[in-house]
Amino acid sequence: MGIAENVARIREQMAQAAIACGRDPKSIALCAATKMNDADAVRQAIAAGVDCCGENRVQELTAKLAQNAYAGAPVHFIGHLQTNKVRQVVGKVDLIQSVDSLRLLQAIDKEAARQGIVQDILLEVNIGEEASKSGFAAGDILPMVEKAGQFSNICIKGLMAIPPISHNSGENLNYFQKLFQISVDITGKKYDNVKVDCLSMGMSGDFADAIASGSTMIRVGTGIFGVRNSVKA
Ligand SMILES: *Cc1c(COP(=O)(O)O)cnc(C)c1O
């Protein structure tokens, strides 16, 4: 199946999942996870109506920006970002979803200040407490949000999480619900400069459960582009 058909199918499944839990399908955005897919594939996904593109690697982001691959859609950074590469990402993307340490937060703020901009970000939560994954511990999020008030060149728009790989539907429900609860806790604190508009959770295999748990953005790669080259071989 082609990219356009895949996007249409995912939209339909998103709508079903939303309606099943009484939510407006329009309240959930579809982010195309474009890693290892070329500029042409990215353009096809945008033409098919994805809401934004999410890139994982700085090198791929830079190359595709140079090819004008994301024209017509916002671009997000969703991979692990090293502090020494913030210059190549800050100001070049609409949202950095994967802010996983205070050090990175500081580096982004500093670079955004240098450019005279405010960079929108999400805090990444290591919701499954996996040693192999980056992200803040769930318990560190509220203190971090509080601390982030002192950074005038970043704006926290919400949270992102990549739960453990699941093999059966329902397996990640508790993680999604946990992330949603953290967002509710933040909102309850009524911080001046923080509004949790974006709860980025759910991927190809588990987005229906994420939507049932309050996701406002799902990130879909294989469901749109097919199996990635690195794993095709
Ligand atoms: C690759 C990736 C996705 C999409 O994963 P699929 O299972 O291919 O849908 C989502 N989020 C992040 C951060 C990714 O790296």
List the chain domain ranges.
3-223
- Say if ligand 1 is within 6 A of residue 161 CB: no
User: Is CATH 2.60.40.10 what the domain over 3-223 is classified as, yes or no?
Assistant: no
pLDDT tens-digit profile of 39-92?
Answer: 999 999 999 999 999 999 999 999 999 999 999 999 999 999 999 999 999 999
Express each pLDDT in 130-165 by its tens digit: 999 999 999 999 999 998 888 999 999 999 999 998
Sign of the dihedral defined by the CA atoms of residues 69, 73, 74, 76, in that order: negative
What the block records as the tokens of 36 is 């290892």
Ligand 1 mutation target, pool 52, 80, 219, most atoms within 8 A of CB: 219
**42 in helix, strand or coil?**
helix
Q: How would you label 131-167 residue by residue, b for 16+ Cβ within 10 Å and e otherwise?
A: eebbbbebeebeebbeebeebebbbbbbbbbbbeebe
CA of 193 to the centre of ligand 1 (A): 29
Rounded to an integer, the average pLDDT of 2-12 is 98
> pLDDT by residue (tens digit) across 15-42?
999 999 999 999 999 999 999 999 999 9
Confirm if 3 and 224 have CB atoms less than 8 A apart.
yes
- Check if 56 has its Cβ closer than 6 Å to any atom of ligand 1: yes
Ligand 1 pocket residue status of 35, Cβ below 6 Å: yes
For tokens 């690195």, name the residue. 230
- Output the furthest CA–CA distance in the chain (Å, rounded): 50
CB 185 within 8 A of CB 139: no
pLDDT of residue 149: 82
Residue nearest to atom 5 of ligand 1 (CA): 221
